[in-house]
Structure 1
Amino acid sequence: MKRKLIYSTGLGLLLFASSCINGNKSPENSTTADTLINVNDTLAYQIAVFKETSPYFSGDETTLDTTFYLARYPVFASETDSLVQEAIFVDGEHNAKQVAQSFLAGFNEYAEEQIESENRAFHAWFRSQDCEVALNVPGFLTLRNAISEYTGGAHGIEIEIWSNYDTQNKRKLSLADLFQDTLALSQIVEVYFRKQEALSDTSSYGSNYFFEDETFTLADNFGLIPSGLLFHYNPYEIKSYAEGPTTLIIPYKALEEVMTAKGKRLLKVVSEKL
């Protein structure tokens, strides 16, 4: 499978030389964005990089700062690209340019107000996102979208959004697609969670975790990666901001008994690729 790099400043698109990410393919098999092909039933894609900055600067004669939006994300063939668009542009936009326009418009209005009041020490903002392909095997695709944003205040926001797809049937996957019994799944995952958090089988979650009624709850945010099923809790979901995010990975073999036929097919293709 080939991956190319596209860099855009919002005014144009610059193509860089492709690099091979599948050892059994030679450079002459490179494809363009309009002729993406499947290789060994996995999806070929390119990486796009987009950056746009505000014309307004904050600071003084010695220190200047400005606001920017930066995005790095995969670009697939059109049918797949439409499927994964909402996983990349999470607020309903259709492309990076729209995200930049919306984000920078908010800052520019704020900056103009500060300049009119003769305050040049206002805070610069930023929004950065890095969406990567975490799993790309026959029939399955997983994206990890890491988003970091600051718009003033004590600290910014950093989150990860995981999205998983059945590429054969062109649909987003849920846990119920992969596991017969999500209650049994939760019980297995909790064992791994308690071990990772150094909690005994009978320890109360108490005030250290934000689980409702002190009952362990699976994260809505899950990902399929080569080493297993991943659950990611973003800051504030089950712990305080200061404690950061929590990521848990369960080996597929530990989950085989509760997998659906589709889940077992995932296990098979992942095992073949490792």
Structure 2
Amino acid sequence: MKRILWSFMLVLLCMACADDKKENEENLEKELAFSTKTIEKRLDDCEPEKGECTFISLIFPVAENQGKVSENINREIENFLVNTIDYQDDITSEKPEQLAENFLKNYQETALKFPDYELPWEVTINGKVAYKTEKLISIKFNSDIFTGGAHGYRSTRYLNFKAENGKLLKAEDLFTSEFKDFVEKDFRIKQEIPQDENINSTGLFFEDDEFHLPLNIGITEETVILHYNAYEIAPYSAGNFILSYSRNEIKEFLKLKNDEPKA
């Protein structure tokens, strides 16, 4: 009888181990992951490295394995690409492939309308996952765009997501309200703007003469980066304004606690 009982218990143990293994494998398969997608289009098969070439190159991460979460993240990435390249208000649903095709088409229409127009257009956007934990995902994009004019435009953009649902996070989701005052004081010191004077008194152009955090906030394991691109708060000639803080330095203002990457 004991031998039968032990045999039965052994079978149950094996079945439990098999179920645990299957569950772990399923969880591993469903874990949010990212692949990299590349879309490159060139007008008349020209070669960008040789110059005088109208082309577009998009390299960006694609979220996978998490259904609605992945859909939310990918939709925001696509919106970023559209808003960065195509400034028409009525464009809201272009996919990256169509966006690239339309970029070349728009150039051809411009060249046809102005026969003497010879300047090639160029777009290079390179995006990658800069930081990923169970709570937070930060994606960084570097963009170089030229579509005529005196010079091109180079920018850096960060998109931060709540890993649980793919929601795009804003500054107020990441920091307490006191963080803005902390940064403004530091910004004024570094830019030599008296604390009791208008934030734009030295030639900056913050909207409504009020300091605000940048749209672009990068997050890594150890650092928080605040990045104002050219044109955002000052003339193009002033370039970028970048503030960087260690997490430990501003930990009292962080809303996301215990946000460490997996070992």
TM-score scaled by length of structure 2: 0.72
In the aligned structure 2, how far is the partner of 1:143 from the partner of 1:68?
Answer: 24
- Could you say which residue in structure 2 is the equivalent of 1:97? 97
- Could you say which residue in structure 2 is the equivalent of 1:171? 167
AA paired with 1:178?
L
Superposed CA offset, 1:43-78 (max 9, x none): 432222221111287xxxxx9722101011112215
The DSSP-based 3-state class of the residue aligned with 1:264 is coil
The alignment-based identity, stated in percent, is 23
- Point out the structure with the larger strand share: 1
In the aligned structure 2, how far is the partner of 1:229 from the partner of 1:64?
Answer: 37
- Could you say which residue in structure 1 is the equivalent of 2:253? 258
AA paired with 2:188?
R
AA paired with 2:35?
Q
Alignment counterpart, residue 138 of structure 1, candidates 134, 137, 155 = 134
Map 1:103-182 onto structure 2 (within 5 A). Answer: 103-114=103-114, 117=115, 119=116, 122-179=118-175, 181-182=176-177
Contact kept, 8 Å, 1:87 with 1:161, in 2: the verdict is: no
Structure 1's 146 and 64: CA in aligned 2 closer, same or farther, altered over 3 A?
A: closer
Residue 71 (structure 2) pairs with residue 76 (structure 1)? no
In the aligned structure 1, how far is the partner of 2:130 from the partner of 2:39?
Answer: 20
Shift of 1:253: 2.3
Shift of 1:107: 0.4
Structure 1's 152 and 178: CA in aligned 2 closer, same or farther, altered over 3 A?
A: closer
The alignment of Structure 1 onto Structure 2 pairs a total of residues equal to 219
In the aligned structure 1, how far is the partner of 2:203 from the partner of 2:105?
Answer: 39
- Could you say which residue in structure 1 is the equivalent of 2:18? none
The DSSP-based 3-state class of the residue aligned with 1:66 is coil
Contact kept, 8 Å, 2:129 with 2:139, in 1: the verdict is: yes
The DSSP-based 3-state class of the residue aligned with 1:193 is helix
Superposed CA offset, 1:131-177 (max 9, x none): 11111122210111222211111111222221111112332222232
AA paired with 1:158?
R
The DSSP-based 3-state class of the residue aligned with 1:168 is coil
In the aligned structure 1, how far is the partner of 2:222 from the partner of 2:193?
Answer: 23
- Could you say which residue in structure 2 is the equivalent of 1:192? 186
Residue 232 (structure 2) pairs with residue 237 (structure 1)? yes
The DSSP-based 3-state class of the residue aligned with 1:254 is coil
In the aligned structure 1, how far is the partner of 2:107 from the partner of 2:34?
Answer: 33
The DSSP-based 3-state class of the residue aligned with 1:65 is coil
In the aligned structure 2, how far is the partner of 1:191 from the partner of 1:37?
Answer: 44
TM-score scaled by length of structure 1: 0.69
In the aligned structure 1, how far is the partner of 2:75 from the partner of 2:228?
Answer: 20
The DSSP-based 3-state class of the residue aligned with 1:111 is helix
- Point out the structure with the larger helix share: 2
In the aligned structure 2, how far is the partner of 1:264 from the partner of 1:185?
Answer: 15
Based on CA coordinates, which of the two structures has the bigger radius of gyration?
2
Alignment counterpart, residue 217 of structure 2, candidates 219, 222, 228 = 222
Shift of 1:195: 4.1
The DSSP-based 3-state class of the residue aligned with 1:138 is coil
AA paired with 2:100?
A
Moved more, 137-146 or 88-97: 88-97
Shift of 1:235: 1.2
- Could you say which residue in structure 2 is the equivalent of 1:23? none
Contact kept, 8 Å, 2:73 with 2:166, in 1: the verdict is: no
Unaligned 5+ residue runs, structure 1?
1-34, 58-62
AA paired with 2:37?
A
Contact kept, 8 Å, 1:131 with 1:144, in 2: the verdict is: yes
Structure 1's 48 and 56: CA in aligned 2 closer, same or farther, altered over 3 A?
A: closer
Contact kept, 8 Å, 1:135 with 1:142, in 2: the verdict is: yes
AA paired with 2:98?
Q
